[in-house]
């Protein structure tokens, strides 16, 4: 589904990714771990097409297509979803309106009929229940005045409504207490499917107790320095990143 070869990318003047390789097949959940500044978020932004991140070399293929040729909105409509580390506030735009516009742009692209307001509301309420989100938040402006936990739940809500092919979670666990973490994980696990892949970016092993990955990668110095099964996460928890980053250097 996703194939990354010798990827180099820069954000501003700094080269962050330096020859990254990664392959994710449908149905798989991959965790990407690594110390701060290792390039985890840059990887997420490359996949989603953030304009300020520039791919300088290498290949990023999504279902065989060169992702770098696509605008961010085209990637989204193709089924790439990024749960933001820092979800953005959009004052005055209701959460429901925003999400409906997002869903319908994807449905339109897929040749499906757009949902009307009533059908959409039913769907949104049902999904909100799944992530234990207060329905009142649906009518508030997008992320405006939301607590950190509410913002992250909102990301997961959007993800469950949009049903992407490839979901990228960028430190969705950061700043969450254990209850919120469970809820977020439940939302994510409910989405696991044979035709869907997930890339879970996290700093801590904690999240992986709830979202059990098929593969764990360690990102350091802009490259994947180690890959393994879920036990690698446990090992990292015990030993830290030092022994691996030294290898990378």
Tell me which residues touch another protein (CB under 8 A).
46, 48-55, 68-73, 75-77, 81-82, 84, 87-88, 90-93, 97-99, 101-102, 105-106, 109, 141, 158, 162
Cβ neighbours for 241, distance < 8 A, ≥ 6 positions apart? 33, 34, 35, 218, 220
**Is 158 within 8 Å of 102 (Cβ atoms)?**
yes
Nearer to another protein, 158 or 205 (CB): 158
Q: Say if strands 90-94 and 141-142 run parallel, antiparallel, or are unpaired.
A: antiparallel
Minimum CB distance to another protein, residue 133 (Å): 17
Q: Between residues 92 and 242, which has the closer beta carbon with respect to another protein?
A: 92
CA distances to 59, 181, 216, 225 from 23, rounded to whole Å, are 12, 27, 12, 14
How near is the Cβ of 226 to another protein at its closest, in Å? 28
Q: Using the minimum distance from each CB to another protein, give the nearer residue, 83 or 225.
A: 83
Residue 203, phi-psi category: left (phi > 0), alpha (psi -120 to 50), beta (remainder): alpha
Cα 9 to Cα 55: distance, rounded to the nearest angstrom: 4
Of the pair 73, 246, the CB lying nearest another protein is at: 73
Q: 57 or 212, CB closer to another protein?
A: 57
CB of 21 to another protein, least distance (A): 19
Q: How far is the CB of 183 from another protein (least distance, A)?
A: 21
Cβ of residue 107: shortest distance to another protein, in angstroms?
Answer: 9
Least separation in angstroms between residue 64's CB and another protein is: 18
Q: What are residue 195's phi and psi, to 5 degrees? A: -100, 15
Nearer to another protein, 60 or 232 (CB): 60
Identify the sign of the CA torsion 57, 58, 63, 65.
positive
Q: Quick one: how far is CA 1 from the chain centroid?
A: 15
Neighbours of 242 (CB within 10 A): 9
Which of 90, 102, 77 lies closest to 157 in space, CA to CA? 102
| Shortest spacing between CB 67 and another protein, in angstroms | 9
Q: Which is nearer to another protein, 160 or 205 (by Cβ)?
A: 160
């Amino acid at each position: 589904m996703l194939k990354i070869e010798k990827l180099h990318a820069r954000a501003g003047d700094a080269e962050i990714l330096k020859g990254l390789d990664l392959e994710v097949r449908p149905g798989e959940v991959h965790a990407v771990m690594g110390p701060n500044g290792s390039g985890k978020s840059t990887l997420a932004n490359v996949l989603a097409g953030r304009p300020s991140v520039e791919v300088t070399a290498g290949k990023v293929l999504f279902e065989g297509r060169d992702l770098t040729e696509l605008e961010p909105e085209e990637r989204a409509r193709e089924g790439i979803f990024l749960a933001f580390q820092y979800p953005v506030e959009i004052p005055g735009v209701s959460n429901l309106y925003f999400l409906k516009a997002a869903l319908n742009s994807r449905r339109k692209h897929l040749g499906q009929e757009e949902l009307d307001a009533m059908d959409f509301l039913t769907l949104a309420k049902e999904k909100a229940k799944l992530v234990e989100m207060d329905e009142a938040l649906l009518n508030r402006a997008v992320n405006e005045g939301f607590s950190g936990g509410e913002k992250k739940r909102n990301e997961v809500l959007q993800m469950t409504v949009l049903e992407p092919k490839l979901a990228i979670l960028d430190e969705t666990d950061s700043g969450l207490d254990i209850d919120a973490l469970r809820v977020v994980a439940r939302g994510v696990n409910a989405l696991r499917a044979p035709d869907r892949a997930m890339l879970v970016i996290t700093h801590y092993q904690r999240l992986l107790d709830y979202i059990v990955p098929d593969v764990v990668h360690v990102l350091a110095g802009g490259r994947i320095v180690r890959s393994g099964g879920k036990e690698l996460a446990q090992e990292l928890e015990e030993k830290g990143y030092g022994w691996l980053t030294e290898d990378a250097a």
